[in-house]
Structure 1
């Protein structure tokens, strides 16, 4: 048995990556810390309750992670002695080389969430940055306005009204570093107002759920079907007054909230004096008809609209916004929140003012539509028995199969071929749903790689079926 060290594992900083279920994130964080040598062999891990408090997650997530890593041989445990690191492997340098080689094996990354980073308008951004540097008043080069750079708020007010059907003045717009930062501030404000629960879509974006939980709010998962969030279920939850919804393009299913449910959701907010946090996810990219307008434009007194540049330009820009009116301006009360740099805000304001942002969006919509069409053609040829969903908008689609294959086997088989995919179940809170599938992102894959990537996925599907058919020893 490995000798136990007196060095406490909880002095090691663990970072959750926000991808997938919380217990899987804890697993990955601990596994990486062990493999890299940051947590050495024999180190005693903290009790599950203490590590859960450090990571701001549930104790269950930590105990599940410990159990899995014991099964894999990274940890050992004994009643009365706690849990300690039992794995002894390669050095940190070797682990880094192995990790780099592992990343390099992903020739095709079909995970959702990334735009086409090759298409970032470098020249136009640089021109806008030079113009902003020349024209930003000296007074604005100090500490930024907590609500955001006024010229950008004015530009966003105009843009959101004409392109998204929102109702917004510059005074209603707040600039933040992204949707996650906006949600964190808004949920902290809800907690301060005495609201302790918030409804979320199931399945939904895992990173956003983690942000919400970090503020102390309890999640109330609400199922999503072919018409979007099942709004009628909100009335069954006593004292529920807040919900987060991706009405224009639900993540990850890709469905649009149906008209009768849009009206039902607004009616619910008015009856309960509640608030709808509307994440305007992927709303700019709709291919077969005009984009759906915002809920906020229908009921600005009960809807806070959120958006960012993460999908339209790049997450590296670090600019997002929300629009809040009426009583929900109280959500801004509390400690000051540092937003993006004034120079970046001024640069984006210039990009919008000269029309370059609108031109970029139109060009990207054409580019993504062509790529989506190529993906659909390839899927119909290579995987004709799979059902495609959510392809009318956005940068991803879903794939399901009548046989409901084991997506763990499929993910492994795809990885063996250098293709990264993400199972639909990774975005679920309630895993009792029997139908699983794949969430396939195509935003950041090169056009020339679409055919080879889908052929690789088809081969992985065939390989996974052979593995599933093999008798277990």
Structure 2
């Protein structure tokens, strides 16, 4: 029995165009050429019989046969007795567009900030927690449910955040999100809907977060940062008089690593209480402290003024899209409404798994393990840079917590671009501090070194290259 196009097990969309006679044949030829060149008809694949294709496209069988003959003559198709007609292999064609679209070589080693070592993902613990949580979950858990998230997760999160971060967290005011980025986007959307036009964000800070806020229709104004953290005393001043929200990283400023000083915490909350402004506290790596006790969240001092936002991206891994917001009462209803219309609710299975991990203290155990791992990495980074620090070529800061350090360039004439370019030549990707500023390139030159990213075997090699690139900076 001859294989029919409609029952051959696969479909191909062709648009041979309109017309009659030779026009139809030319249109079919052009459509087939495009499908072959574009890869939708791969080399060696069999094309349908002339009878099947003619019936499918409403063409005369002779028209299809003539088109096939022409493409055979041009080398696009091959016809062999008993083997049917198949797509011929085509020589590779390098065009300017193809050349431009080819991925550029990527350095083999990376010391970029913002990412943990994903090889630490707790596969066994996560799998076990998923299995146990699913076995115990009632079927109602898998319905649409509360847009704020599962009650089980919100309840254990309230206890965990109070215990570890000093957060005043009522489960009713917790909204589970698909990571920090969604939480920030929802808050920005709600602020814009409430009539806000300007938001203050730390300078330097993460450009991606500035973009999220800007896409909500809000103007982002820079809030300067120094060694005592964000200059919150400037809020309410002439330049920031119309700001209605401030996004800050008080426990470990990103990227400088500064901790917000007590007087600036008070100034931040005083501004919010006086103006009705909202503080958005990004506690992105609050679990990782090495040389001192954890600094509690600002939210614990002002739960009615602060929206506390966190996630598992640094502790478990960014592939698990789970975050949370502890929202002041006056902002809760619009935030829940925004979450409802964004995606209704974050995925149930991951919520169940995280709730079980926290309740069983598996989450705490995992955090302790990776905290020790990152501390060893931090210590090795400091040791490898000691010679450059002693010579005055660099200064290292922001190392008491988190997954990154700032290496300030002190050699005369040193430039970020020269160091990052030299590192790339040696196979290492690093990030300049200037890339994080509201106006790129402003301020003193430095490198933001993320020590969470590389795998364990690759980390020492990455540090070797880093030291070499820094040693080659101008003025040596």
2:171 corresponds to: 170
Q: Per-residue deviation at 1:241? A: 2.1
Taking the aligned partners of 1:304 and 1:160, their CA distance within structure 2 comes to: 13
SS of the equivalent of 2:202 reads strand
Contact 1:382 1:455 in 2 (8 A): no
One of 407, 410, 429 as aligned partner of 2:416:
407
**Is 2:329 the counterpart of 1:326?**
yes
Task: Give yes or no for the alignment of 1:391 onto 2:366.
Answer: no
Q: Distance in 2 between matches of 1:448 and 1:344?
A: 30
Say whether residues 1:364 and 2:363 are aligned partners. Answer: no
Contact persistence 1:185–1:331 (CA under 8 A): no
Partner of 1:4: none
2: CA distance between counterparts of 1:239 and 1:148? 34
**Does residue 296 of structure 2 align to residue 288 of structure 1?**
no
Please state whether the residue corresponding to 2:300 is helix, strand or coil: coil
Name the structure 2 match of 1:379: 385
Contact 1:201 1:245 in 2 (8 A): yes
With normalisation by structure 1, the TM-score equals: 0.76
The aligned counterpart of 1:234 is 235
For 1:317, the equivalent position in structure 2 comes to 320
- Tell which structure's C-alpha radius of gyration is larger: 2
Q: Supply the distance in 1 between the matched residues of 2:132 and 2:292 (Cα, whole angstroms).
A: 36
Cα pair distance change 1:355/1:375, threshold 3 Å? same
Alignment correspondent of 2:448: 439
Q: Distance in 2 between matches of 1:336 and 1:396?
A: 36
Unmatched 5+ stretches in structure 2: 1-37, 39-93
Q: What are the Cα deviations for residues 229-266 of structure 1, in whole angstroms up to 9, with x where unaligned?
A: 01111121223221000000110001100111011111
Which residue is equivalent to 1:279? 282
SS at match of 1:250: coil
Shift of 1:444: 2.1
8 A Cα contact 2:174 2:327, kept in partner: yes
Supply the distance in 2 between the matched residues of 1:176 and 1:432 (Cα, whole angstroms): 34
Question: Cα RMSD between the aligned structures?
Answer: 2.0
CA distance in 2, matches of 1:432, 1:223: 15
TM-fit CA distance, 1:370: 1.0
Q: Which residue of 1 aligns with 2:62?
A: none
SS at match of 2:285: coil
Which of 351, 367, 375 is matched with 1:345 structurally?
351
Q: CA deviation at 1:119?
A: 0.9
SS of 2:280 mapped into structure 1: strand
Match of 2:3 in 1: none
1:99-178 → structure 2 map (5 Å cutoff): 99=103, 102-103=105-106, 106-178=107-179
TM-score, length-normalised on structure 2?
0.75
Instruction: Say which of 424, 430, 439 aligns to 2:433.
Output: 424
230-239 or 424-433, which deviates more? 424-433
Separation in 2, partners of 1:281, 1:299:
19
The structure 1 residue matched to 2:258, chosen from 255, 258, 264, is 255
> Tell me, what secondary structure is at the counterpart of 1:143?
coil
Q: Distance in 1 between matches of 2:361 and 2:405?
A: 30
The alignment partner of 2:299 has SS state of coil
Q: Kindly tell me: are residues 404 and 142 of structure 1, through their superposed partners in 2, closer, same or farther at Cα, counting changes over 3 Å? A: farther
What CA deviation, in whole Å up to 9, does each residue of 1:404-444 have, x standing for no partner? 51211221111111000000010000347341110000012
Q: Which residue of 2 aligns with 1:82?
A: none
**Other-structure match for 2:186:** 185
Please list the CA deviations of residues 101-160 of structure 1 after superposition, one character each: whole Å capped at 9, or x if unmatched.
712xx2220010111111110000000111122122111112242111110011101111
Secondary structure of 1:369's match?
Answer: helix
Q: Is the 8 A contact 1:149 1:342 kept in 2?
A: yes
Say if 2:270 is the partner of 1:267. yes
Counterpart for residue 218 of structure 1: 219
- Secondary structure (helix, strand or coil) at the match of 2:419 reads helix
Q: Distance in 2 between matches of 1:464 and 1:374?
A: 21
1:383–1:458 contact (8 Å) kept in structure 2: no
Mean CA deviation greater in 139-148 or 431-440: 431-440
In 2, Cα distance between the equivalents of 1:429 and 1:89? 38
C-alpha change, 1:373 and 1:144, in structure 2 (3 Å) is: same
Shift of 1:383: 5.7
Which shifted more, 270-279 or 329-338? 329-338
Paired residue for 1:306? 309
Aligned residues: 376
Give me the whole-angstrom Cα distance separating, in 1, the residues matched to 2:364 and 2:112.
Answer: 27
Instruction: Check the 8 A contact 1:152/1:348 in 2, yes or no.
Output: yes
- 2:243 match: secondary structure: coil
1:373: Cα distance to partner? Answer: 0.4
Runs of 4+ with deviation above 4 angstroms: 88-91
Match of 2:55 in 1: none
Q: Secondary structure at the match of 2:309?
A: strand
> For 2:442 and 2:474, how far apart are their aligned partners in 1?
21
